[in-house]
């Protein structure tokens, strides 16, 4: 069995961290369900602007990242008409479709569908 001294434990952990893949996660869901609040909770600081007046807040898609995770915060969807068509273009056509055949580091590994 391999023995670890305090020095090579650090070295081994360093190697593991380097080999670790960073997941790309897209958070999506209806307007106002708390997507940006989830991001702030996960990063333990206010990195994403969250709304407080019941109006749609986030626009487009923004990447927040640290050493272990990449999280895409996205604008919320609203049902019907041009707003819905806009959302479908943003999420499906412009974001997901373009990443479908991307190399693993740029692929979307998980979609987190947030509900109120």
Ligand X SMILES: Nc1nc2c(ncn2[C@@H]2O[C@H](COP(=O)(O)OP(=O)(O)OP(=O)(O)O)[C@@H](O)[C@H]2O)c(=O)[nH]1
The DSSP H or E segment spanning 17 is: helix 6-19
**Does the footprint of ligand X cover residue 24 (CB under 6 A)?**
no
Residue placing its CB nearer to Mg ion in the complex, 24 or 58? 58
Locus of tokens 């050493």: 67
Judged by beta carbon distances under 5 to 8 A according to partner kind, the member of ligand X, Mg ion, none in contact with residue 47 is none
State which of residues 24, 25, 26, 35 lies at the interface with ligand X (CB under 6 A). Answer: 35
From 34, 44, 22, 103, select the one nearest 74 (Cα to Cα). 34
**Does the footprint of Mg ion cover residue 31 (CB under 5 A)?**
no
**Does the footprint of ligand X cover residue 76 (CB under 6 A)?**
yes
Closest residue to ligand X using C-beta atoms: 76
The DSSP letter of residue 107 is S
Rg (CA), the chain: 18
> Nearest distance from residue 109's CB to Mg ion, in Å?
21
Alpha-carbon gap, residue 15 to 34, rounded angstroms: 36
> Nearest distance from residue 99's CB to ligand X, in Å?
21
**Does the footprint of Mg ion cover residue 74 (CB under 5 A)?**
no
Strand runs labelled E in the chain? 24-29, 61-65, 70-74, 110-114
Q: Which residues sit at the interface with Mg ion, rule CB under 5 A?
A: 35-36, 57-58
Q: Which residues sit at the interface with ligand X, rule CB under 6 A?
A: 31-37, 50-52, 56-58, 75-76
């Amino acid at each position: 069995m391999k023995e670890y001294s305090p020095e090579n434990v650090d070295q081994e952990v360093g190697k593991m961290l380097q080999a670790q893949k960073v997941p790309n996660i897209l958070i999506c869901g209806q307007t106002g369900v708390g997507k940006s609040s989830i991001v702030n909770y996960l990063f333990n600081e206010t990195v994403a602007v969250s709304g407080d007046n019941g109006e749609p807040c986030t626009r487009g898609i923004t990447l927040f990242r640290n050493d272990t995770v990449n999280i895409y915060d996205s604008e919320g969807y609203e049902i019907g008409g041009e707003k819905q068509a806009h959302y479908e273009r943003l999420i499906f056509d412009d974001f997901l479709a373009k990443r479908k055949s991307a190399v693993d580091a740029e692929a979307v590994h998980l979609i987190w569908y947030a509900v109120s």
